[in-house]
Amino acid sequence: MLILAIESSCDETSAAVIRDGVVVSNVVSSQIKLHAEYGGVVPELASREHLRGLIPVTQAALREANVTAMQLDALTATRGPGLPAALMIGLKAAQAMAFTLHKPFLGIHHHEAHLYSPWISGNPPRADFENLQPNVSLIVSGGHTMLVHVERELHHRVLGSTLDDAAGECFDKVGKLMGLPYPAGPEIDRLAEQGNAKAFDFPRPMLNDKNDDFSFAGLKTSVRYFLQKNPGLLDDSQTIRDLCASVQAAIVQVLVKKTIRATQRLGLQCVTASGGVTCNRSLRKELAAACTENGFTLRVAEKTLCTDNAAMIGILAERKLLAGDAGASLDAEIEPGWPLEQATSRA
Ligand code: KG4
Ligand code: ZN
């Protein structure tokens, strides 16, 4: 089966071609530089940029895959959740192509696609659904932080999610307080490498709560008050590194502990992780160490598939079509606030 997938839910315009479980091409055009000037994603600018980038990105994906639109068997796009005007551009373009080509169309839930991105690996990347084990999946990015129990393929249940800010948002907002450029996550990761994680003791929100939810707004606020009470801290570059390491340690500890605890409680043996924050080296290292200690298998999405991309949308769409999902929702509308529970079967 040959599928063209489009992703435009936030600030990445992406198109991918999938053939029989293999990612033949995956073109991603990131808008990070455009939004950096404003310290965060500006929805209106994002949709304008998607409009500008969608056709060249789609053409590049088809060209790289060496296929023509006429050869496609199906089309797919992210239907939600995401920024309404951004989603609209990718979804309507894919539906228009499907309509013109008389091919089936399937709208995909962005987070559901993240759940399976850790199972795509290799060169060229290939989906490894044959080895999929029941797992606890951590999705952690700038817009979402959640734990999901994946019982089996296409069957999952949300265990918990953030009650306020996402972990990536926390990295970005703390970085802004420290005068770091947007997005601050990668910069904090880099600076933390030479910092002392024990230098400052920041709160670990909800670490010991008996649920799988997260909360990161309080951590950001505590950093703000700490900086206000201690003016001049940011004048010293080593102190900045120590601050980065200390904040990162707090975020990573909460993410790792809560993921491991949920996996233990459910009696599972496998953990997966995806989303932009899984690029964080400390998170990867700590999660790997905790999984080894508990005898769990860990699958973290490859770096190019951690952040938003159309390949994961196409891979999931193919599995859904093969599983009998008829698609054909040519007039389906965007779902900016689509709850994951409503897109999937319950475990
Ligand atoms: O999945 P993603 O590309 O997109 C959205 O959420 O839209 O994730 C972006 C987020 C940003 O908050 C960014 O700061 C964070 O992922 N991020 C990181 C790292 N790389 C990206 N956070 C911590 N360490 C990193 N190395
Ligand atoms: Zn995402």
Atom 8 of ligand 1 has which residue's CA nearest to it? Answer: 276
Q: How many CB atoms lie within 10 A of CB 118?
A: 27
Residues with CB under 5 A from ligand 2 (ion): 141, 308
For residue range 136-145, list pLDDT tens digits in order. 999 999 999 9
Rounded to the nearest angstrom, the distance between the alpha carbon of 299 and the centre of ligand 1 is 18
Q: What is the pLDDT of residue 345?
A: 45
Q: Whose CA is nearest to atom 10 of ligand 1?
A: 142
| Distance (Å) from CA 203 to ligand 2 centroid | 26
Report the pocket of ligand 1 as residue ranges, CB < 6 Å: 10-11, 141-143, 168, 171-172, 183-186, 189, 275-277, 279-280, 307-308
The pTM for the full model equals 0.95
So what's the pLDDT on residue 341?
Answer: 86
Predicted confidence (pLDDT) per residue in 218-243, tens digit: 999 999 999 999 989 999 999 999 99
Give distance in angstroms: CA of 172 to centre of ligand 1: 8
Low-confidence ranges of the chain (pLDDT < 70): 326-328, 344-347
Among all bound ligands, the one having the nearest atom to the CA of 186 is 1
Question: Measuring from atom 22 of ligand 1, which residue has the nearest CA?
Answer: 185
Residue ranges and CATH numbers for the domains of the chain are 2-125+305-343 (3.30.420.40), 133-301 (3.30.420.40)
Find the 129 Cα to ligand 2 centroid distance in Å: 20
Nearest CA to ligand 1 atom 16: 276
Residue 3 tokens, joined = 């599928």
